[in-house]
Each structure stands twice: as C-alpha cells, then as structure tokens.
C-alpha cells in the first residue's frame, strides 16, 4: 500500500480566497479520512494586497511538520507566487492562470518561472470561473476542483464542506461556488495525470477515537474545556486572541465565566485571585503581555497559588512582529519575575500536544500549587492538524488538590506547612476554621510575614523541591526520543513547534544513511536533567535548532548541564526551514566521521 504524503501550497493576494481555499481543502481531505497539517501565512494588515499562502500536507499517518518541498503549487496571483516556484519538488506540479486578464511581460508570468523538471499546468482559471458562475470570484474554487480532479479526490466530501462554508450566504452562492469547483474538477480529471502524487487508500483506522480538525489555539480551548476550566480572564493580543474568542463562546454554554479585563496585569491578577478562591483559572497572552504579567507571576509563586498562563510567542523584542512566529520568550517564561521564580513551563510540539498540555497544566497547577506556563508560538497556535480525541473521555484529572484534613478545635491552620513533598494541603475561602492570609512577603508556615534566613531558606527549598515531582507527572510526556536508539552521530534536541521540522530533517538524514536521533523536550521547567543528559551521552554531537537569535534553549541546556551543544539559532520570521537543519546534520555527521577517522 502506498502511504499518502502530498503537500499543496496555495498562494495568492489578500482577497483572492487563498486561505478560504486552504480551509475547504483541509476539511475535505480530513473528512475523507486523511491526516492533515496546515499552516497559513498572511499579512498583518486587515485590508490590502499582501501575500497569502496556505500550505497543507496530507498524509496517511499524522505528520509532525510541513515538508521542505511542496508537491503542488497553485498560483492565484503570479506576482506573489513566482518567488515560491522553487519550493516545488522535481516532477511536482505548478498550477497557474494561462490567460492573464491583461498582457504582461514574460517575466511576470508564472510560465516563465516553472523550473525544468517541474510540470506546468496552465489553464484558463478566470474564464472557467466566469463561465461556470458568471463571475471571477470563485477562481479559488475552480483551482480547488482542478487539483481534486488531478489528484483523484472524490468531489463528495468537498461538496459537503462547500455547502457548510457558504450556508449563511444562501443556496445561490453555494450553488455557484460548487459549480466553480465542479468545472475545475472536470478540467483536472480530464488533463494528463500528475503521476507520482496520488492519494493512496487509507489504512483501516484501529483507534476508535474521534478525529477532529483543530488549530493549536482551538486545541488549547478544547483542553481547557475538557479539564473543566471555571474562570478565564484575558486581554486581546495576537496570536493568543483566538483562545479567548473561542472560550468566550464555549464557556458560557457550560455555565462558566470569562472576563475581558482592562490589561494583562489585571488578567493575571484576576486569574490568581480566582485560583486562590479555588477555581480552575487561566489567562492567555503573548510576549508583551507576559512581560506585564511578570510581577504577578512571582506573587503566584510565593503564595503557591494554582494558575495557568498560555503564552503564544511572536517575533520580538517589544511589539516586534505580531504576525510572525518565533521562540524568543523562553527566557521570559522561565525567569520573568522578581526573585527566584520557581514555576512549571511546558511547551507542546504539535496541535495534539496543545490539547494535552492545556488539560495537564490545570492538573499540575493544582497538584504542585504553582503557576504553569504553557508556551506556544504563532506557528503552533495558527496551524491546523487532525487530532484524535480519546474515545474514553478526556485524559485529565479533574481534582488534583491534596486532601485537606479537618482542623481540630483551637488548631491554627498552616497554609505553608512544611511537608515531605513540599506541597501543603490548601484551604480556600469558604473552608470553615482555616482562615489565613496569603502574602507576597516571605512568610512562615502560618503565612505570617517572616524574613529570617532560616525561614527564607526553608520556603525557597519548599518552592523548588515540590516541583521536581512534575518531572514524573502521571500520563505526561516530559521528554521523548525519536529515531535511532543507542549511539548516534547526531542528536537533535528541540522544543516547541520547531521539533516538527527537526523530526522531518531527521527522517531525511536517516534516509541518507546518517545515524541520528531526536529528542523533544516538553517540560522546560523544572529541567529534565536526567533524560537530557542520558540522551546527550548517546550522541557524538548535539544540535539545538530553535527560532530565536540568542539560542535561549541552547543556553539553558549548556548552563544547566555544563555540556557543549551546537546551536542552530535563526530568526527567519517563519518556521525553521527543514533544509537548514538537514544541512547542519550533514555537516555534523561529516565532522563526527572525520574526527573519528583521525
């Protein structure tokens, strides 16, 4: 059986329906049973003629990232798409308008940029749209139909998705759009085949779970809802806003409360207040908002108050690049706060991970009485993947609080009682006989201000030590090794969304015969020293690719373990290119081989 692995890129100008076409395509193939990963790039302006690209990779088994090269490029606007002609592989297809609306110079037409080895499919898209629908607006559906026909995808699943998408605009609009699709489909089916890119049969799915199409942020919302988030406080900021927007419609349906606050300080303050009152509470922000929350995070640390903060990173510093992805808020997430800022920081590596990390974050916040930061980035927040939700219900513990015993008459409740695991049973307002005050001041076991050296040391120990158990948190992947077991020439150590590209590069390197392995690090604080050390023991060289300039994760690894790593820190305003990682793997494999020979 041929496993399906096709990547399609649709490129156009804002207003061409590029992103909409990608949306229909991903939903249609997912409905047909394929696995999808999809990432759209669009300009920051709401109106204008900026470049939009929607890239989808369609596979039999869920893939971790987009491929280095696309199999098909569709141009809805040659001026934007021409620079991307090179990203199509040999024997891949380039689909473009064969009859431009006005005469254009040769260099401005896609036909002049199709490389030898690529297969050009020029056809009269506009004319076909006009004939089928009486207007040119459905060009995006004509090309969608064209590739469906070309690649042999059944039109039925598209028809359903198109009907759903245009349902609000009436039967006429739906019919016209489907007519456009059908015209394209017939043309695609009638033309010569793109031989080595066809959809293979699907394996009979063994898991009985429900497959859904989710963006990273939507997966976070699903995780929050399944973990029974009670209260949410937020302030709009790209690329985290859609978390609050989705929660704003989901939470009230379940009788829960969401408040848009006046700023991020207020958002985190209210989140902590609600956590103190015993509610499962969260906020979501991006780098600039995290900076405003820094002081409050310290308050959550010292008062040992459970709270969850989703941080979707974008390009920085300052306002930086709000619509470009980056992994440069790691240091702020780990350390941003006055004093020693003990906390849990976890970073999912794919959309399914967003779901799991979101739900597990509430468990950890309660169990270890700590702020938990879930570090996402724009690439992860905005990309779509098919996700399997377990059939047996949400895999989350809904009350992870340490049990509180009844107070004896006259007994003073000790909010910060020193215990073996560092976690003190927590009373919340409403609990009879446990009245206490929590404070941002250093305190004793009763919670009363105390700044003695002994107490500050004891409480610092407590706040540090209690988190170590999170490294073995039940049903949570702290780190995971992929690829070759045992000794390898090159080991890739990565975190967050970049791990997907690392895995792709690793597979390609393995195909070239290079011995390599990759480890994803999901928990960044507390630092999984043992697992990472053991992995590094197996590697001749360790490569750390990440999308930031200073190599923040590489610094963390080197600083904690005092062992060298090879940095691949780049700020491409996009996900890390797979070929960059592959090039480094090749170079390191060569270097390692040379030094072994000498």
Partner 1 sequence: MSIPIQPVYVDVKLREVQESGRLDYRSRSLPTWCPGCGYFSIVEGLTHACNEMGIPKEQAVVVSGIGCSSRFPFFVNLYGFHTLHGRVLPVATGIKTANDRLTVIGVGGDGDGFAIGGGHISHAAKRNVDITYLLFDNGIYGLTKGQTSPTSAVGLRTTTTPFENPERPLNPLMMLLSYGASWVGQAYAGNPDHLREMITQALAHRGFSYLHILSPCVTFDKTSKTYTNLGLSVRDLPENHDSSDLMAAMHQAQDQEHPALGLFYQQFRPTLGDTFEQVIAKAGGNN
The answer to whether the beta carbons of residues 216 and 381 sit under 8 Å apart is: yes
Measured over the CA atoms of residue 176, residue 178, residue 179 and residue 183, the dihedral's sign is positive
Q: Give φ, ψ of 211 to 5 degrees.
A: -95, 125
The answer to whether the beta carbons of residues 535 and 491 sit under 8 Å apart is: yes
d(CA 407, CA 227): 30
Q: How far is the CB of 444 from partner 1 (least distance, A)?
A: 12
Tell me which stretch binds partner 1 (CB under 8 A): 14-22, 227-235, 312-320, 490-498. 227-235
d(CA 160, CA 28): 8
Tell me which stretch binds partner 1 (CB under 8 A): 200-208, 273-281, 314-322, 326-334. 273-281
- Which lies closer to partner 1 via its Cβ, residue 74 or residue 459? 459
Q: Position of tokens 């869920």?
A: 62
Taking CB under 8 A as the criterion, the residue among 48, 135, 152, 429 binding partner 1 is 429
Per-residue contact flags (x/-) with partner 1 for residues 387 to 416, judged by CB under 8 A: ------------------------------
Which of positions 446-485 make contact with partner 1 (CB under 8 A)?
A: 448-449
Q: How far is the CB of 456 from partner 1 (least distance, A)?
A: 17
Q: How far is the CB of 392 from partner 1 (least distance, A)?
A: 25
Tell me which stretch binds partner 1 (CB under 8 A): 89-97, 249-257, 313-321, 359-367. 249-257
d(CA 110, CA 96): 7
Q: How far is CA 552 from CA 80, 373, 493, 567, in A?
A: 34, 17, 13, 10
Taking CB under 8 A as the criterion, the residue among 13, 281, 424, 515 binding partner 1 is 281
d(CA 174, CA 443): 65
d(CA 124, CA 379): 34
272 binds partner 1 (CB under 8 A): yes
Tokens encoding 36? 């999808």
Taking CB under 8 A as the criterion, the residue among 299, 344, 351, 578 binding partner 1 is 299
The answer to whether the beta carbons of residues 429 and 276 sit under 8 Å apart is: yes
Q: Is 424 helix (H, G, I), strand (E, B) or coil?
A: coil
279 binds partner 1 (CB under 8 A): yes
425 binds partner 1 (CB under 8 A): no
- Which lies closer to partner 1 via its Cβ, residue 433 or residue 583? 433
152 binds partner 1 (CB under 8 A): no
Taking CB under 8 A as the criterion, the residue among 116, 255, 410, 559 binding partner 1 is 255
Tell me which stretch binds partner 1 (CB under 8 A): 125-133, 256-264, 472-480, 509-517. 256-264
- Contacts of residue 536, Cβ cutoff 8 Å, sequence gap at least 6: 491, 493, 542, 561, 563, 565
Taking CB under 8 A as the criterion, the residue among 435, 487, 530, 564 binding partner 1 is 435
Binding site for partner 1 (CB under 8 A): 230-231, 233, 249, 251-257, 259, 261-263, 265-267, 269-279, 281, 295-296, 299, 303, 429-441, 448-449
């Amino acid at each position: 059986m041929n496993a399906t692995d096709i990547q399609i890129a649709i490129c156009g100008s804002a207003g061409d329906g590029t992103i909409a076409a990608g949306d229909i395509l991903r939903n249609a193939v997912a409905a047909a049973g394929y696995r999808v990963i999809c990432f759209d790039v669009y300009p920051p302006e709401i109106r204008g003629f900026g470049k939009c690209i929607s890239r989808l990779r369609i596979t039999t088994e869920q893939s971790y990232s987009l491929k280095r090269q696309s199999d098909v490029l569709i141009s809805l606007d040659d001026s934007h798409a021409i620079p991307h002609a090179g990203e199509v592989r040999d024997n891949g297809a380039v689909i473009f308008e064969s009859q431009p609306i006005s005469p254009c110079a040769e260099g401005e037409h896609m036909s002049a940029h199709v490389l030898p080895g690529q297969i050009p499919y020029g056809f009269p898209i506009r004319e076909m749209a006009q004939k089928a629908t009486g207007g040119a607006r459905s060009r995006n559906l004509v090309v969608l139909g064209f590739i469906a026909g070309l690649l042999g995808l059944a039109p039925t699943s598209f028809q359903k998705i198109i009907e759903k998408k245009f349902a609000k605009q009436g039967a006429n609009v739906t019919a016209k759009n489907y007519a456009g699709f059908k015209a394209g489909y017939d043309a695609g089916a009638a033309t010569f085949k793109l031989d080595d890119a066809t959809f293979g049969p699907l394996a009979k799915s063994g898991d009985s779970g429900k497959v859904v199409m989710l963006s990273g942020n939507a997966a976070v919302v699903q995780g929050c809802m399944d973990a029974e988030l009670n209260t949410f406080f937020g302030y709009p900021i790209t690329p985290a806003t859609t978390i609050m927007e989705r929660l704003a419609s989901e939470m009230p349906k379940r009788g829960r409360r969401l408040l848009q606050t006046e700023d991020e300080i207020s958002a985190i303050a209210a989140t902590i207040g609600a956590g103190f009152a015993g509610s499962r509470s969260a906020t979501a922000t991006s780098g600039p908002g995290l900076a405003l929350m820094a002081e409050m995070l310290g308050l959550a640390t010292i008062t040992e108050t459970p709270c969850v903060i989703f941080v979707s990173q974008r390009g920085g510093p300052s306002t930086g690049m709000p619509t470009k992805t980056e992994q440069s808020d790691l240091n702020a997430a780990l350390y941003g706060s006055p004093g020693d800022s003990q906390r849990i920081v976890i970073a999912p590596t794919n959309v399914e991970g967003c779901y799991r990390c979101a739900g597990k974050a509430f468990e950890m916040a309660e169990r270890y009485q700590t702020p938990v930061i879930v570090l996402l980035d724009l690439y992860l927040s905005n990309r779509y993947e098919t996700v399997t939700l377990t059939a047996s219900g949400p895999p989350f513990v809904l009350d992870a609080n340490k049990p509180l015993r009844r107070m004896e008459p006259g007994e003073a409740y000790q909010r910060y009682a020193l215990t073996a695991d560092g976690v003190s049973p927590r009373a919340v307002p409403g609990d009879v006989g446990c009245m206490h005050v929590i404070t941002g001041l250093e305190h004793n076991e009763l919670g009363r201000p105390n700044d003695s050296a002994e107490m500050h040391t004891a409480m610092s120990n407590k706040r540090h030590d209690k988190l170590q158990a999170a490294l073995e948190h039940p049903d949570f992947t702290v780190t995971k090794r992929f690829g070759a077991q045992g000794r390898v020439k090159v080991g890739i150590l990565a975190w967050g969304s970049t791990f997907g590209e690392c895995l792709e590069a690793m597979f390609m390197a393995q195909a070239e015969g290079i011995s390599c392995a990759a480890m994803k690090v999901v928990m960044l604080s507390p630092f999984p020293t043992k697992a990472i050390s053991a992995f590094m023991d197996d590697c001749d060289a360790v490569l750390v690719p990440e999308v930031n300039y200073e190599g923040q994760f590489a610094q963390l690894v080197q600083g904690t373990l005092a062992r060298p790593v090879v940095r691949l820190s780049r700020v491409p305003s996009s996900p890390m290119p797979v070929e960059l990682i592959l090039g480094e793997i090749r170079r390191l494999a060569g270097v390692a081989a040379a030094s072994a020979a000498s």
